[in-house]
Every structure is written in C-alpha cells, then in structure tokens.
Structure 1
Amino acid sequence: MTDNLTQKLIDGLAFIPKSWQIIPTNGNKQPLGYQWQQNPFNKDELIRSLQSTGSVKVRNCNGNQVYVYPKGIGVLTGKQLVAIDVDGNSATIALQKLSKSRSLLCTVAFTSGKPGRCQYLFSIPNCTNAALKSRRIRTRVKDEALEIRYAGMMSVLPPSVHPQTGQYRWVRDCSPVECAIAIAPQWLTQLMHKELPEKSTPKLQQTLQQSSGVKHDRIAALLAQINPDDYREWIRIGMALYSHSPTLLYLWDEWSRQSSKYKPGECERKWDTFNPNRITLGTLYYLAQIDSGCPAA
C-alpha cells in the first residue's frame, strides 16, 4: 500500500534518467540520511523500496540502516551534472549578464512555483570537470541570489513537497522525458573554473578558497546531523565555527541552506559580528548527539 504522496514520488521517478543519483528529502527540502552525498540511490532501488513499504533505508550516524519516509527527491550534482539555481528576478538579471544575454539552451528545468524561481540542469563533459567549483553570485536584492551547484550539492526535483508552494513542477516541455540535458555553455564552465579577484570576491568565496581538508570534512559530517531551523542553535554553531577558524563561513552557509528559513547573505552579515569566544567545536559534538540521538564519535 502507498499513500498519495508516495505514489506521486514513484510516478515522478519514472521521469528521472537512470544515470541520475537520487537523494530522498523531507518536506523542508533537506536531504535524509547521514553523509547523504556518499550514499545516493538509483531510481530503480528507490522505486522498489517506496512500492514495498513507503519508506527507504538510509544510514544514521552510527552507520546503521534506519527507515525514513521521504516527502521528496533530489538529484546529486557534481561530476557530469551541474544545476543553475535562479532565486529571484534579480538573479535572472545576473544570469542574463553572465551569459551576455544569450538565451539559455533548451534543457531540463523545474521550479518551485515562486515568482522568479527556476533551476536548469546541464551536463559537464568528462574532460572539463576536474577543476570546476560551485559558485554563488549575490545580488543587491535581499534573499535573492544566483547559485551554481556542483560537487556534493543537491537540487530538489518534482514532484517533491515545497514548504511554501506545495510542490515542485517541471517547466513546460522541459521535463527529462521531453527534452535532453544540454551541454553546459562555455560561459558557465569558464565561470566555474574562474578564480575571482580578491577585491571583488565575496567573503564566502574567500573562505572556501582558504579552507582545507580532512578536518573540515569531519565538521561538515557533524553539521549534517543537526537541524538548522532553531535560531539559537544556528547562532551558537556559527560562533563555534568562527572561533575555530574564520575560514569556516562556507561550511556554516552550506549547512544553513538546508533550512526553509535560509536567507542568502545572512550568514555573511552575522559572521562579521562574531568575535573569538569560549564556544568551541564541542558545541557541534553536543548538538549533533542531541539532534541525531547517537553519539557524535
């Protein structure tokens, strides 16, 4: 037996190419499962699981399999797939400027239904994907930005639940069964390769370029266990990250984006108000344990 939402997801998965790596999500656009970037599904196994129980198995922080009941699905970007997320009318203008007003190639596209919001998917040839980076271009309008999503990121797909509009939808004639994914235009791959000049590089990009390695991966894993919706916890985590290293703004921002309350640019504004303090990364371990119900080893 499947409920209406589960059946919608099963039907929606029929539109998805077999090569896409799929992430189950909750009704708040958040990915489900510990280290979800390393544990995507293919569409066939997801369909089988939803048809059988209405649920899917994901890993928790102990490495155990637990059942979750998804309200949406997302596609994992990176390697051969990139998403352009146009978040607002000012982001549309930014996209037009970056593309020098060239019309976007006909490609797979979808929307939450909010005005000025749309995402476009493009394929990346194998020979060009090694040095590409995700990008975010802020606009002068509050809560609006143009985002290029690449390695380790996710875009929520139709017919997933959207917390404000109810449901994601394919743009007319732009579902994966109606048109092919276009190869990324040259201006896009050039932008993803480009090292932005220091004087005009947003603080978020600076911290991303300065950040490094394994310890940061561990911090990101802890953040993945914590719900970003609580404002007090959100501030405490930001302060803890700042005290550990001022280069960690990008991790705070990436984690914050999982919340429906996320506002582009807010992390950077708050970051500028922080000072070194006694809050340490121990706060992350504690909150990860409380939120996940497992020890943050």
Structure 2
Amino acid sequence: MNVFSTKGLLPKLRREYWNDAICETFTGLVTDFQDMSEIDAELISTPLGDLTYARVQTTSSKVFHTSHHASKATEKVFLLHLQLANKSRNVQHGREVCLEAGDFTLVDSEAPYSVQFEDPITMGVMRIPYEALQARLMNPEDIAGLKFSGQTRISGLLSQMLRGFWDQKNVANSESVNRQFSHNMLDLLATSYQEQTSQVISSGSVRRLRYQQLKKFIDYNLSDPDLSPGKIARILKITPRYMHRIFAEFGSGTETVGQYMLNRRLEECVSRFEEQGAGHLKITDIAFALGFNSMTHFSRVFKEKYGASPREFRNGLRNNMN
C-alpha cells in the first residue's frame, strides 16, 4: 500500500508533489487547486491483481488530462471514478456527468478529460488496463463518460463493494484473494454496462452477482471472529433464507455459508504459511488474525482438511523450500 500526503510539506512544494503522485499512480494529469495556499491532499493506493485501487482526498480543485497527456500515454488505461463523499463534475467525449456519493463513471486515457471538485472531496479511483476491459466488452471505449448510479441494481452492487473496500482497515489479503476480487469487480462493471445500455439482465444473473458479492464480503471480513451468516445477512440487508438459497444455487451444492467461511479461513492460513517473509509469524497469531478464536478448534479443522496439523504442514513447506 502506497501513501502520498501533502501534510508537512512547505506550501510552495505541495502542488508539484501532488501532481507527481497522481501521475505515478494513474496516468498523465495536472491539478489546479482553488486555493494554492491551502492545499491539503492525500492518496492511498493498493494493487489488486492487474488493477490499482486508490482513495483520493483533496481540497477544491480541477484535474485535467489534456490532449498532450493523451498523446504521451505509454499505456491505454481506463480510470473508474467512484464518488465517496460530496460531488464532482466529470467531462469526456462531450459527456458531462455530476457524481454524487456512490455514483461512478469511467474515463479513457487516450482522450482528454477533466474532473472538478467544488468542495473538498473523497473519491475512489481504480486504474484498469485496457486489455482487462476488452476481455469483457467488445468496445470498451463506449463505456467512457457514462454515469452509473450507486443506488440501483448491478451498478449499485459494484458501488457498495468498492465503497466497502475502504472500510476494511488494516486487513491484509493474499495476492490470490486480491486478484479474484479484481476479476469480480470487472465482471460487475461489464454487467453494469449491459444493464445501462438496456440489454436484458436475467434474475439469475442478479442472483449470481449477489453470490459473488457475498463471497467477496466474506473474503474481506475473514479477520472478524464474530462473522456469522446472520451478521452477513444483516449488513447486506438480505434475509438469511435468501442468502442460503443463493449459496445452494451457485455454490458447490454441498457447501453452506458457514462452510465457505471456514474453508476460506483455512486457505488463507495456508497462503500465509507460503508467503515469503512470514516465517517469523506464530501459527497462533496467523490463526487468530483470520478469525479463529480457539487453537484446539483450528488445529482440528485444519487437520481434517489438509491431513496434517498446522505445524506439520508448515514444516513440510519449509523442508520443500530448502
């Protein structure tokens, strides 16, 4: 996770520092602040597979990606702008959209665009390689400049999941989890576009997307020892019966919500065992960090799944690496 902040910098250095930070993270951009003497901005970014997801907080400003920037771009990318607080005005291809909290739009790096913040704002920005969208949409350029609501149907599900990402403070996930999360986000984005352009979305597709949302919510809350099917249903505002029905329909057929939670925790423990640089971590600390609150229970279910105790399994991995 990378953090850029203007705090502590001399006022005369802040604009140049900020422009360097956003260019490094996204693509060629330049920012003009409404009050050059009161620049206060922060960017936190994290890789998600081939994507980069960032949270931007800044004082009133205008951001420009000019024709010069577009012509100098070395990689074609799309940027998803998700409004997290207050409002912004986004312009590209003659389309002007005003985003309120929860709404999102996309811009194409090969064409000029601008973003204006009248008030201090918080925005989520996801950097998406062109190839990642092209694999899901025939003409990815058609999606740029459209406004997607954060309150309705498929785009609302995507918005909810992306907004919830920043609520998971200090939660470290394995590379495989982050990559799967990015794939699910792109699938939801493509489906949102299909819905936006009035293509028919079946009720089965909506249920499948809800299933993906449930799995990702669980994946990002594995560290919560109080996580339970009932708690998940309350937070996502669905009934437990509907949630179990979705898992029965799209899961393995035998895996319940509780079993999925347990299997994911065990799989993440194995991923932590395999990570380089994690050899100093105690097995107890890893288990508790992933929501287990009893080592007796953890050791028993681990051995049932992998045929060896956690210690035996970890030692076997070490021996294979030596």
Q: TM-score, normalised by structure 1?
A: 0.30
Identify the structure with the greater helix proportion: 2
Q: TM-score, normalised by structure 2?
A: 0.28
Q: Relative contact order, CA 8 A, sep 6+: which one is greater?
A: 1
Larger CA Rg, structure 1 vs 2: 2
